[in-house]
Structures are given as structure tokens and as C-alpha cells.
């Protein structure tokens, strides 16, 4: 089968497409013939050896796939060859066939096509876990989303609105903010041209926001912490800007606020039943038309480099997806 292979950690330009043996499922595992694979910012970090988990080499990047179960290993119940699924692979998704633990595989809802499915899992599951399980956001609270037009950011807007919050979206361009408005943001802040803290103050009558959702880190983090209301919660999602901010803890004491780490992948691995309940809620919202994954670009596997560059170089809006030149698209059977 064809796969994008990383032989050693290093620049993304070292990745190559190779012919390699297809994986065989072991106990508790299935293989999925991949129709589409969602690209995530951390795919690039993994390849460069800068992510918190470092797979054995060689490996293929790509952690979320949609496709058809090809083979099922021992002790797997409820899954069978031919089922259309989406799956949290961890690694191995930029390939025609990938290996997945059976408890991270979810049947695709009827109305969801494979490209949507490949764009659905990590972003929505992360934002749901963050806002609901970690921040316990309540109707009427105010949510500030940084990097709000990005993969996880856009889902935080949608889910924040569904959970009854007033959502302020912050991003670097007016074009990105226009998309945030389409996805339900009540207010927007362009942090390239406006002072984040002053704008939050004026939008909240000096009170500040109850919850910050931060997948960016970098220069805006301190202003966002200072923008918390009393009893605020600051969700640490990621560091797309590259810098891991250092925050003076007195800021939290003064606001009686909390810094909350979020790591959905670890949560899903250690709490599969809780995660499955969250996924069921997300699928139900999708089926009701309440969630609409935004796929701004899709590329064939051969153009994985362009697709990954778009995400890593701040060019993407919503999700970018790779497709595998096989059956694909259309509505799930």
C-alpha cells in the first residue's frame, strides 16, 4: 500500500511517499481502508519530534481517519469488515490502510460523508471535552476563543453556542473572523489590529470572560488570562504559535481563577466509555444539523505536503483533509 513515511524526526520536507506492507490487526485491533484523513496541526509537530508523544520510526503521521473496516483482530466485538467508520488512529492515517485500537473506532452516522467524518473527530471531541468536562461551561457565561477560525477553534465556537454561551471569537484576519461569525460568534476581535484585553473589557462591560479557550499560546495568552472574570477558567489547548507562555500565578490568585490543562487524546484512551458518550452526543447534534464541520480544502494523498504546509503555516480555516483516491465521498451507507 501507499503511505507517507517519516523515517526520522526532522523537517516535513523529509517525508516521502513509499510502498509499504499493509498492517495486520492484532488482538483488540482493526484495520481501516482509509478514504479520508483529517490533518491536524500536531501532525507536523510529531514529524518534527516536537510533540509530547514520539512514535517509533518509521511511521506515518495522521491521527484521524474515515473509511471502511478491512479486517478485525481477535477479541473485537461489535465491529466487522465492511463497516464505515471514523477512528482515532494516533498515527498512521496518511496511508491507504491503517491500524486502530477497536475502542477508538466509531460507526459513521448515516448522513455523514467520509470527508466530513475525517474532519469531525479530534476537533469536536476536544472542544466538547474542554468546554463540558473541563470548564463545565454554563448557559449565559461568556467564552473567548483564540485562533477561532482554526480546526479546534471553529468547533469551540459552535459548541460554545450550543451550550448556551455568549461567544467572542478572536483571530488574526478579518476574513477568518467573517467565518467565525458564520459559525455563530456573537462578537469578534482581530488580535492583529486590536488590543485583545481592551476589546474584551469593552465587550463585557469591564467584567471579563468566564472561559478562555486557547489553542494558540504565544503573545496573546497573558492578555487573555488578564481578561478572565472572577472564577474564570482558562483552557490550555495547544501552542500553535510555537511559544509556550509563562504566566505569573498571582494573576490567577487575584481573579480566583483556574488554569485547566486539556489533553483529549489521553482522556479518550483512559476514559473510553465517557468519551464514547461524548461522541454519541456529538453525532446526535450532527444528525440534527446543529454541527457543520468546515472543510476549507481537501487534497489527494500525493499532495500531503501542500496540505500539511497549509495547516502548519497558518493558512487553513477549519479543517484540511487528505483523500486516498479510492471510493470515498458521498453519504455513508
Ligand X SMILES: NC(=O)c1ccc[n+]([C@@H]2O[C@H](COP(=O)([O-])OP(=O)(O)OC[C@H]3O[C@@H](n4cnc5c(N)ncnc54)[C@H](OP(=O)(O)O)[C@@H]3O)[C@@H](O)[C@H]2O)c1
Q: Where are the alpha helices (DSSP H) in the chain?
A: 41-47, 114-118, 121-128, 151-162, 174-182, 196-203, 221-226, 250-255, 264-270, 272-287, 304-312
In the complex, minimum distance from the CB of residue 330 to ligand X, in angstroms, rounded to a whole number: 26
Choose the binding region for ligand X from 14-22, 53-61, 157-165, 213-221 (rule: CB under 6 A). 213-221
Q: Quick check: 227 binds ligand X (CB under 6 A)?
A: no
Choose the binding region for ligand X from 2-10, 215-223, 273-281, 297-305 (rule: CB under 6 A). 215-223
Choose the binding region for ligand X from 8-16, 39-47, 83-91, 111-119 (rule: CB under 6 A). 39-47
Q: Quick check: 316 binds ligand X (CB under 6 A)?
A: yes
Q: List, in order, residues 6 or more apart from 313 with CB less than 8 Å away.
A: none
In the complex, minimum distance from the CB of residue 59 to ligand X, in angstroms, rounded to a whole number: 17
Q: What is the 3-state secondary structure (H, E, C) of 61-90?
A: CCCEEEEEEEEECCCCCCCCCCCEEEEECC
Between 263 and 299, whose beta carbon lies closer to ligand X? 263
Please confirm whether the linkage preceding 55 is cis (ω < 30° from 0): no
In the complex, minimum distance from the CB of residue 307 to ligand X, in angstroms, rounded to a whole number: 12
Is residue 76 a contact partner of residue 102, using CB atoms and an 8 Å limit? yes
Question: What is the number of the residue whose Cβ is closest to ligand X?
Answer: 150
Residues 171-210 contacting ligand X, CB under 6 A:
171-172, 176
Q: Which of 135, 149, 168, 328 binds ligand X (CB under 6 A)?
A: 149
209: Cα separation from own chain's centroid: 23
Q: Quick check: 90 binds ligand X (CB under 6 A)?
A: no
In the complex, minimum distance from the CB of residue 201 to ligand X, in angstroms, rounded to a whole number: 21
Q: Which of 29, 31, 40, 298 binds ligand X (CB under 6 A)?
A: 40
Binding mask 113-142 for ligand X (x = CB under 6 A): ---------x---x----------------
179 phi/psi in degrees, rounded to 5: -65, -40
Measuring CA to CA, how many Å separate 181 from each of 41, 162, 168, 327?
23, 14, 10, 34
d(CA 185, CA 202): 16
In the complex, minimum distance from the CB of residue 27 to ligand X, in angstroms, rounded to a whole number: 27
| Rounded (10°) angle between helices 121-128 and 151-162 | 50
Measuring CA to CA, how many Å separate 271 from each of 86, 238, 297?
18, 21, 32
Residues 236-275 contacting ligand X, CB under 6 A:
237-242, 262-265
Which residues lie near ligand X (CB under 6 A)?
Answer: 40-42, 122, 126, 147, 149-153, 171-172, 176, 215-216, 218, 237-242, 262-265, 311, 314, 316
Amino acid at each position: 500500500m501507499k503511505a507517507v513515511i517519516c523515517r526520522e524526526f526532522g523537517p516535513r520536507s523529509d517525508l516521502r511517499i513509499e510502498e509499504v506492507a499493509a498492517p495486520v490487526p492484532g488482538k483488540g485491533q482493526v484495520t481501516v481502508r482509509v478514504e479520508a484523513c483529517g490533518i491536524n496541526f500536531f501532525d507536523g509537530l510529531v514529524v518534527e519530534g516536537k510533540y509530547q508523544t514520539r512514535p517509533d520510526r518509521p511511521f506515518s503521521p495522521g491521527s484521524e481517519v474515515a473509511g471502511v473496516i478491512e479486517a478485525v483482530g481477535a477479541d473485537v466485538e461489535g465491529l466487522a469488515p465492511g463497516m464505515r467508520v471514523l477512528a482515532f488512529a494516533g498515527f498512521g492515517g496518511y496511508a491507504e490502510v491503517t491500524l486502530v485500537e477497536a475502542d477508538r473506532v466509531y460507526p459513521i452516522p448515516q448522513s455523514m460523508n467520509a470527508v466530513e467524518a475525517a474532519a469531525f473527530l479530534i476537533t469536536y471531541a476536544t472542544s466538547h471535552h474542554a468546554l463540558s468536562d473541563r470548564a463545565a461551561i454554563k448557559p449565559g457565561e461568556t467564552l473567548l476563543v483564540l485562533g477561532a477560525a482554526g480546526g479546534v477553534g471553529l468547533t469551540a465556537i459552535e459548541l460554545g453556542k450550543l451550550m448556551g454561551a455568549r461567544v467572542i471569537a478572536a483571530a488574526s484576519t478579518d476574513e477568518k473572523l467573517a467565518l467565525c461569525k458564520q459559525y455563530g460568534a456573537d462578537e469578534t476581535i482581530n488580535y492583529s489590529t486590536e488590543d485583545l484585553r481592551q476589546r474584551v473589557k469593552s465587550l463585557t462591560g469591564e467584567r471579563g470572560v468566564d472561559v478562555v479557550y486557547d489553542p494558540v499560546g504565544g503573545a496573546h495568552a497573558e492578555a487573555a488570562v488578564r481578561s478572565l472574570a472572577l472564577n474564570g477558567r482558562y483552557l490550555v489547548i495547544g501552542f500553535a504559535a510555537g511559544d509556550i507562555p509563562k504566566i505569573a500565578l498571582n494573576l490567577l490568585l487575584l481573579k480566583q481563577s483556574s488554569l485547566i490543562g486539556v489533553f483529549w487524546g489521553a482522556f479518550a484512551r483512559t476514559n473510553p466509555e465517557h468519551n464514547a458518550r461524548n461522541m454519541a452526543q456529538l453525532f446526535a447534534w450532527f444528525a440534527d444539523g446543529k454541527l457543520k464541520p468546515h472543510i476549507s480544502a481537501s487534497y489527494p494523498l500525493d499532495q500531503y505536503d501542500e496540505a500539511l504546509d497549509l495547516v502548519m503555516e497558518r493558512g487553513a480555516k477549519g479543517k484540511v483533509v487528505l483523500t486516498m483516491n479510492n471510493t470515498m465521498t458521498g453519504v455513508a451507507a
